[in-house]
Amino acid sequence: MRPTIVFVTGTDTGVGKTVLTALLTRCLRERGLNVAALKPVCSGGRDDARLLRTASGGVLSLDEINPWHFRAPVAPFLAARRERKRVKLSPVVAHLRSMQKRFEVLLIEGAGGLLSPLGDDFDSRDLMTSLRATPVIVGWNRLGAVNQVLLTLEALPHGMTARARVVLMSPPGPDTSTGTNAGLLAEHFDRKRIFQLPWLDGHLDWARESGNSPVRKTLERLASEF
């Protein structure tokens, strides 16, 4: 059965989670699926949520995509505390479950890395577990990537590693490991579940990226698994 919830997390913050989520959402929509992308908790601005709203074709309001948002550019848990607010796991799960009923595939983007605190005593791993989601791990394809990806895989909820996908995003300045990381990682993780994308700048141009053959082929291969 096709998984209905895909959870996009990262080895760190700023590794390309939003770009990947937006592109994958557009790719799935082009395949005729009823899809939406959400970033339920964020801090430091809502630009990511706005990009996901555009990628989803405006089928949801910004507040449906991103109900919990805070100003300070720190972990959402700390940002909420500064505003004397609290985020609890159960309302977040309830919101996402209600959204799930409306779509064939729901993409959820976490904030920061897998264990970055989102709210009161929960992080992306806890949210992923509650949703029984399929993990997609995004990391920079540079020196240190193999260690970071393997650590994140090790930290996944029990039983979810076998369903995880890994996406290595090339940084703006590739290093000598960029061409070898996927092969080395494949010695520890299923090669068929490792994907690579070239550098995609923050000014995302869907028409340009969808016409870029390597990007499109990778996205279509990843999308076909959902």
Structure tokens at 61: 């309001």
Q: Give residue 53's pLDDT.
A: 97
Query: What band does 1 get if pLDDT is binned at 50, 70 and 90?
Result: very low
**To the nearest whole percent, how much of the chain has pLDDT over 90?**
84
Distance between CA atoms of residues 26 and 15, nearest Å: 19
Say which DSSP state 37 is in.
E
Tell me how far apart the alpha carbons of residues 74 and 77 are, in angstroms, rounded to a whole number.
Answer: 8
Rounded Cα distance, 99 and 111, in Å: 19
Q: Mean pLDDT over all residues of the chain?
A: 92
Residues listed for the chain? 226
Tell me, what's the pLDDT at 213? 75
pLDDT of residue 15: 92
39 in active site: yes
pLDDT, position 143: 96
Q: What angle do CA 77, 78, 82 make, to 5 degrees?
A: 120
Name which of 102, 138, 121, 122 is nearest 7 in CA terms: 138
Residue with tokens 């340009």: 208
Residue 207: the pLDDT is 62
Q: Domains plus CATH for the chain?
A: 5-223 (3.40.50.300)
Q: Could you tell me the pLDDT band of residue 90, with boundaries at 50, 70 and 90?
A: very high
From the candidates 39, 85, 88, 217, give the one annotated as an active-site residue.
Answer: 39
Residues 166-186 pLDDT 10s: 999 998 888 999 999 999 999
The phi and psi torsions of 207 (rounded to 5 degrees) equal -60, -40
Cα-Cα-Cα-Cα torsion 70, 91, 54, 58, nearest 10 degrees, comes to -130
- Say what the pTM is: 0.93
